[in-house]
Amino acid sequence: MKKSNNDNTKEPLKTDAGEPKPSNQKTEELLRDVSHPDDQFLTTNQGVRINDNNNSLKAGERGPSLLEDFILREKITHFDHERIPERIVHARGSAAHGVFRVYESMSKYTKAGFLTDTSRETPVFVRFSTVAGSKGSSDLARDVRGFAVKFYTEEGIFDLVGNNIPVFFIQDAMKFPDLVHAVKPEQNHEMPQAASAHDTFWDFISLMPESMHMIMWAMSDRALPRSLRMMEGFGVHTFRLINDKGEAVFVKFHWKPLLGVHSVCWDEAQKISGKDSDFHRRDLWENIEKGNFPEWEFGLQIIPEADEHKYPFDLLDPTKLVPEELVPVQRIGKMTLNRNPENFFAETEQVAFHPGHIVPGIDFTNDPLLEGRLFSYTDTQLSRLGSPNFHEIPINRSIAPVHNNQRDGHMRQTINAGGTNYHPNSIGGGCPFQAKMADGGFVSYTEKIDAVKVRNRSESFRDHFSQATLFFHSQSPAEQQHIVDAFSFELGKLERPYIRERMVGVLTQVDKTLATKVAANLGIPVPNGPERPMNLGVSADDKGNHEPVSAKPVIEKSPALSMANTVKDTIKTRKIAILATNGVSGSSLNTMKATLQNEGAAVKVISQKLGSIQTEEGGAIPVDGSFLTEASVVYDAVFVAGGKKSLSALAGDPDALHFVNEAYRHCKAIGTEKEGSDFLNATYIGNKASQSKAPDPGVLIGMNPKDFVSAIAQHRFWEREMARKVPA
């Protein structure tokens, strides 16, 4: 075996282009095996070098295996225990390493070092996830997405454990087990997987009107992101920021993706699940490997303590958001994900987030859902990871020094020297010492509390519909139609008609037009109103006193809530398919490909088979994929290259026609050369054009390549979606 001249070193990671990858040195040494691959012998977990890793120890070549074979037993035992219990929720996850840097000091509001020191680059580890499905479920389920960020700050770990939706289903953690039990596969037959379209979920939701705001988001396009790189993140709860004077403000945390917020449509999501159930995971991994590092700006909504009761909603209610039109989001820093995990299990699967992991300068509020999470997350890690020492797993380790009197426990890794494990002590010189506030010691915010011990909720939590109405009214017409379609699909899957009817009754409290359209799709009359009592989730003694109330929305519309208003000025990292076969115009194909790639898009040439295709000029062009393995649903736009022979062949190929018809149905930009109109005439587009002389939005014939770039940047042309007759 070749020996390395540089023990304990490793070649720097490189991108596909051969450039060195950014390295987060503070965490890399903790998280990587730094020994050189040329200096590794196969060993047991105790370091004993193995001479034969192919055969077990036997009594004779054909005899029984021996119990004393410690190598076999260790190997099999480890294999038997390689799977830990998956997360009850957020089991399906993808993650990446990165860095965060603040633009300007926030010392006016907080003493947290990573938010005040502009010279500091803070390592982060981010895990994205779906909520309802198991580890093996599809990435494209209609679901909430988790957006959890672990900051390895110099003052300790700060975990911002949020979602891609700014509110939640319930107001009190007491109801969380019920919510999850309801949305998980039904207990009698364990179906459906990763789906809310079943009776138990909607039975629960229809009896818990506090869920209506969140359910509007879940039925919207926000639940079907185009990419993990193209979705917002939210801290959900209201937190506090504390400055070095002990002054506090309320804060809502936001992540704003620089690529904009984009989605897929429902029909497309279902097909992607069949074509590539790892669609989001693959997209994140491949783009980081290529050096297309995802970026988000970190935003804060700051609310002075004096304004705590200024709004008609309660800041502590996790089913409410603060409209950006009332309190603008201040973008104060940027997070860049620049390195993929090297071992999925050791990092993505073993990472342990906890909203209770905070640092000086950040503190909690009395949000009753947050309060329950502060208990639940530690309890969950003890169950999943099997030990109170889960913080010693490399991906969870603080980069700040750890000194305390905690010892022992299952799988303890730290070897503590010295003779004392208690405080106060004199034998150990009093170490470790308590830290004064001036030394960075954490001091909880001194909030005054004077109240009676009760099981109840504030009256200010009773408005369950105004923000659901605000969300629906803020959507574009296409987005509103998608919400109607989502409710119609989900409720149409129910086996019990009375749950369907009850849910439509609750929808009448959000918007009568919404309820009417959903009822029409379900073939049922629109109820006059919801069943009474509406809220069966309250105390048995309080049903009459805690019915939901209807309040007027604080504003009529919030443009920030609609994805129609997201960034649409870039095609960076978009996937574009160029359809071509033998006889293609090499000039047409190469000009468009170069233009798209110069704008940062990922381009693939798709043909009838792999290999290469011959151009009409006599050259050859490599093929990246064939119709056998590729589908339009995994691309953002389609270009049909010129060349009469190629266009004629594609016009006679059902797979090529289906590829374009499907892209048209999903409202994507489609382009071709002037001579490509004959090909389009063979598709649904040509059939539609013969019926209407109106120009088709997003279909460009004989255009300048830059016009095609502008069309792709629009993401989708949803006005085309009204054509339900597209054969795809």
Q: What digits encode the pLDDT tens for the residues 106-144?
A: 999 999 999 999 999 999 999 999 999 999 999 999 999
The residue among 333, 368, 396 that closes a domain is: 396
Phi, psi of 275 (to 5 degrees): -80, -40
pLDDT score of 39: 67
Q: What is the CA radius of gyration of the chain?
A: 29
What pLDDT score was predicted for residue 3? 38
Rounded to 5°, angle at Cα 524 from 521 and 529: 110
Torsion 307-301-143-82 (CA) sign:
negative
Sequence-separated (6 or more) residues with CB below 8 Å from residue 397: 30, 391
Question: Above 70 in pLDDT, residue 11?
Answer: no
Strands 625-626 and 233-234: unpaired
Q: Given the DSSP bridges, would you call strands 93-102 and 330-339 parallel, antiparallel or unpaired?
A: antiparallel
Integer Cα distance of 240 and 445 in angstroms:
9
Q: What is the pLDDT of residues 61-72, one digit of tens each?
A: 888 888 898 888
Question: pTM to 2 decimals?
Answer: 0.91
Q: Where a domain ends, among 396, 429, 453?
A: 396
Averaged pLDDT, 607-628: 97
Domain membership flag for residue 664: yes
Q: What is the pLDDT of residues 236-289, one digit of tens each?
A: 999 999 999 999 999 999 999 999 999 999 999 999 999 999 999 999 999 999
Q: Indicate if the alpha-carbon torsion angle 165, 166, 171, 172 is positive or negative.
A: positive
Residue 632 falls within a domain, yes or no? Answer: yes
The residue that leads in pLDDT, 548 or 584, is: 584
90 has catalytic annotation: yes
The per-residue DSSP string of 164-182 comes to SSSS-S-SSGGGHHHHHHH
The CA distance from 35 to 192, in Å, is: 46
Query: Three-state SS for 244?
Result: coil
Q: How many domains does the chain have?
A: 2
The number of CA neighbours under 13 Å toward the Cβ of 147 is 29
- Report the pLDDT value the prediction gives residue 537, as an integer from 0 to 100: 56
Output the six-digit token pair for 372: 């329950």
Nearest to 578 by CA among 643, 524, 489, 502: 643
> Using CA atoms, how far apart are residues 190 and 62, in angstroms rounded to an integer?
45
**Which residue, among 552, 565, 562, has the nearest Cα to 483 in the 3D structure?**
562
List strand residue ranges (DSSP E) for 145-289, in order.
Answer: 145-153, 156-163, 233-234, 239-242, 248-257
β-partners of residue 97 are: 125, 339
643 falls within a domain? yes
| Cβ-contact 349, 84 below 8 angstroms | yes
Is 458 inside a domain boundary? no
In Å, how far from its chain's centre is CA 367?
23
Q: What is the pLDDT of residue 324?
A: 97
Mean pLDDT of the chain: 91
Q: How far is CA 608 from the centre of its chain?
A: 35
Domain-located, residue 636: yes
* Both structure tokens of 403: 């000194």
Q: What is the pLDDT of residues 323-378, one digit of tens each?
A: 999 999 999 999 999 999 999 999 999 999 999 999 999 999 999 999 999 888 98
660 falls within a domain: yes
Count Cβ atoms within 10 A of the Cβ of residue 94 and give its class: 0-12 exposed, 13-18 middle, 19 or more buried.
Answer: buried
- pLDDT (tens digit, 9 = 90+) per residue, 683-721? 999 866 555 556 689 999 998 999 999 999 999 999 998
For residue 677, give the CATH number of its domain. 3.40.50.880
Of 378, 396, 414, the residue that ends a domain is 396
Between 9-18, 508-517, 552-561, the lowest mean confidence (pLDDT) is in 9-18
pLDDT at 35 over 80: no
Tell me what pLDDT residue 554 has: 85
pLDDT exceeds cutoff 50 at 5: no
Percentage of the chain surpassing pLDDT 70? Answer: 91
Q: How far apart are CA 488 and CA 217, in angstroms?
A: 15
Q: Name the active-site residue from 8, 24, 36, 90.
A: 90
Q: How far apart are CA 635 and CA 632, in angstroms?
A: 5
Has residue 26 been placed in a domain? no
C-alpha 705/C-alpha 308 separation (Å) is: 53
Helix, strand, or coil (residue 483) = helix
> Is the pLDDT at 650 greater than 90, yes or no?
yes
Quick one: tokens of 257? Answer: 């993706």
1 has a pLDDT exceeding 50 = no
pLDDT digits (tens, 9 = 90+) for 523-565: 999 998 898 877 765 555 554 456 788 788 789 999 999 999 9
pLDDT > 90 fraction of the chain, expressed in percent and rounded: 72
The residues that bridge with 239 in the sheet, in sequence order, are: 251
- Identify the pLDDT of residue 70: 87
Q: How many residues comprise the chain?
A: 728
Write the DSSP string, 273-302: HHH-TTHHHHHHHHHHHTT---EEEEEEEE
The CATH number assigned to the domain holding 351 equals 2.40.180.10
Q: Which residues fall within 8 angstroms of residue 64, CB to CB, at 6 or more apart?
A: 58
Look up 666 and say whether it is catalytic.
no
Distance of CA 284 to the CA centre of its chain: 10
Q: What is the pLDDT of residue 41?
A: 82
Supply the pLDDT for residue 53: 82
Binning pLDDT at 50, 70 and 90, where does residue 4 land? very low
Q: What residues pair up with 248 in beta bridges, in sequence order?
A: 242
Q: How high is the pLDDT of residue 22?
A: 54
- Strand, coil or helix: 362: strand
Annotated catalytic residue, options 24, 97, 163, 715? 163
| pLDDT of the residue at 37 | 57
Q: pLDDT per residue over 299-330, tens digit each?
A: 999 999 999 999 999 999 999 999 999 999 99
Q: What are the CA-CA distances from residue 512 to residues 386, 517, 518 (Å)?
A: 50, 9, 10
Give the β-pairing of 699-701 and 669-672.
Answer: parallel
> Average of pLDDT values for 180-207?
96
Write out the two tokens for 192: 């459906």
432 domain residue, yes or no = no
Which domain does 360 fall in, by range?
93-173+220-396
